[in-house]
Amino acid sequence: MTTSSNSSSRKIPLICGGHSRPVPEIAYSPVTPDGFFLVSACLDGKAMLRNGVTGDWLGTFQGHKGAVWSAQINVKADRVITGSADYTAKIWDALTGEEIHTFTQNRIIKTVQFSKDDSKILTGGQDKILRIYDLNNPKDEPLSIAGHTNTIKTALWTNENTIISGGQDNTFRVWDVRNGSQVKELPFKSPVTGIECSLDGKHVTVTAGKEVFFLNVQSFDVIKSYTLGIELNTASLSPDASTFVTGGSTDFWVRVFDFNSAQELECHKGHHGPVHCLRFAPDGATFSSGSEDGTIRLWQNGDVKCYGLWQEWKDKESFQ
């Protein structure tokens, strides 16, 4: 069986259907006693929960009246949060699919996130304001943080006191949530399309235009940056920080690069539209991609292996 990393066309993804419109965001839970899980947002107005290893469908969260732009799952994997074009963020019971609470705003919500201890949520979107809600007192007014001058595309916690955000105003910003103050700002030449707190616990990955940046998670100083040949929507760093994957708006491919040199190692073809989101699974064995074509694809990381649902392909020419 050939397992050369340069023959990425030999890798057959698991294709997860079910959505009917573009998939703008996917997110994994941490590893739990029951395994780990994958949640997806979709412009069809629904979010879906899947087994993180196999991609098997577990449930659909229905109740939004507009496109769902963002979906995240909490540390315990028992709650899901979604943000929508219907101006609401919703908390869901991940086990039953029932809606627990709705937070209403006055513009489209583009990003939602749980805090590290699952006690708060963060939202951001077209009104250019970050909001923090206390889940122990969900009816209380949120803490509002202003400073962005255009739509906030993505925002998340790095620790209990620090939030990072980026968007259409071409800036990456760092905030102290204890007083709502901005503590750092990094200007870019293009809008910030993606931010990830990498699984190695040391890096923040940022995409803007054709550039990908890797920042120190403590100081937010730029450690590495590379200019690539496509307009990037997303990037994700492997858990061992040896490779990173990218997806963009100018082709339909998922590319794998060496972290230290930016040498392209693999190019995965199969999506029928731009790739909007990418994330490595917490075990590092696979990574997933979400696309304009409405599908999620799970790809093997590293050499081709025959296991799980990939067993059925072990006799195909691709795996000879």
Q: Does residue 152 sit in the same domain as residue 36?
A: yes
* Domain shared by 121 and 152, yes or no: yes
The predicted pLDDT at position 132 comes to 97
Under DSSP, the state recorded for 31 is P
Q: What is the mean pLDDT of residues 245-260?
A: 94
CA atoms within 13 A on the CB side of 283: 13
Neighbour count for residue 177 (Cβ, 10 Å):
19
Looking at the structure, tell me whether residues 249 and 160 fall in a common domain.
no
91 and 154 inside one domain? yes
**Higher per-residue confidence, 183 vs 318:** 183
Instruction: Please count the structural domains in the chain.
Output: 2
Mean pLDDT of 49-71: 96
Domain extent at residue 90: 21-187
- Using the 3D structure, point to which of 166, 187, 208 is the last residue of a domain: 187
Share of the chain above pLDDT 90, in %: 88
Beta strand pairing status for 232-237 and 243-248? Answer: antiparallel
pLDDT digits (tens, 9 = 90+) for 159-218: 999 999 999 999 999 999 999 999 999 999 999 999 999 999 999 999 999 999 999 999
Burial of 116 (0-12, 13-18, 19+ CB in 10 A): middle
Share of the chain above pLDDT 70, in %: 93
Q: Which helix (H) or strand (E) holds 138?
A: none
Domain boundary among 187, 216, 251: 187
pLDDT at 107 over 90: yes
Q: What value does the mean pLDDT take over residues 78-89? A: 98
Rounded mean pLDDT of 136-153?
A: 96
